[in-house]
Amino acid sequence: MSQPLPDSALDQLFRTARTYNGYLDKPVSEDQLRAIWDLMKMGPTSANMLPARLVWCTTPEAKEKLAGLAGGTNPDKIRQAPVSVIIGMDLDFHEQLPWLFPHADAKSWFPDPAAREVHAMRNSSLQGAYFIMAARALGLDTGPMSGFSNDAVDATFFADQPRVRSNFISTLGYGDPATIFGRSPRPDFEKFNRIV
């Protein structure tokens, strides 16, 4: 039976974890990227659809290409990070369901392309959150962001997969504490919750 995690683990995953705007000059290995995937793929998605498709930008050329499609302060964040990740979503995720969810004919549950897009967005967003938590669990930090041209990212990084669309981007590395500001407010339970 599962037991509550110790406070040190809860701190690392939630309470003291932060979104970073810059990183220390410390590399992130391919083994670490694979370890993140091996954790995040275990998080639940509807019918095990796993619609997320990730592009890990590790070279200066790939990061520069991605930075050119972002706005505001995001380009410099993308260039400076050891890794920048595009969390995409496969709108035709249902084609993979015969082997990902072999217990039933789950592919037949998703005939409507518009409904599939909603499912892909919801579940790839879940997987993006699992990415953040997996990275934190492995001692890494992230900087998830919007502020980029989805159409341009799709045309540049998913041209060979026209049914894959970008959801959001995240930087990845060992966060530099000098690049963060004080934590923004986090409300008490009563502010946004009801028990009925």
Query: Which of 74, 37, 82 is closest to 57 using CA atoms?
Result: 82
Residue 93 lies in a domain: yes
Number of domains in the chain: 1
Interval 7-18 mean pLDDT? 98
Residue 145 lies in a domain: yes
Whether the per-residue pLDDT at 127 is higher than 90: the answer is yes
Q: Give the span between the Cα atoms of 194 and 147, in whole angstroms.
A: 33
Q: Which residue bears the tokens 């705007």?
A: 21
Residue 15 lies in a domain: no
**Is there a contact between 124 and 87 (Cβ–Cβ < 8 Å)?**
yes
Q: How confident is the model at residue 29 (pLDDT cuts 50, 70, 90)?
A: very high
Whether the per-residue pLDDT at 34 is higher than 90: the answer is yes
Interval 161-185 mean pLDDT? 97
Range of the domain at 93: 23-172
Q: Give the span between the Cα atoms of 67 and 63, in whole angstroms.
A: 6
Question: Mean pLDDT of all residues in the chain?
Answer: 97
CATH of the domain at 66: 3.40.109.10
Q: Tens of pLDDT along 66-116?
A: 999 999 999 999 999 999 999 999 999 999 999 999 999 999 999 999 999
Dump the DSSP string for 106-146. Answer: GGGG---HHHHHHHHHHHHHHHHHHHHHHHHHTT-EEEEE-
Interval 44-64 mean pLDDT? 98
The one-letter amino acid code at 192 reads F
Whether the per-residue pLDDT at 178 is higher than 90: the answer is yes
Whether the per-residue pLDDT at 1 is higher than 90: the answer is no
Residue 188 lies in a domain: no
Interval 166-181 mean pLDDT? 97
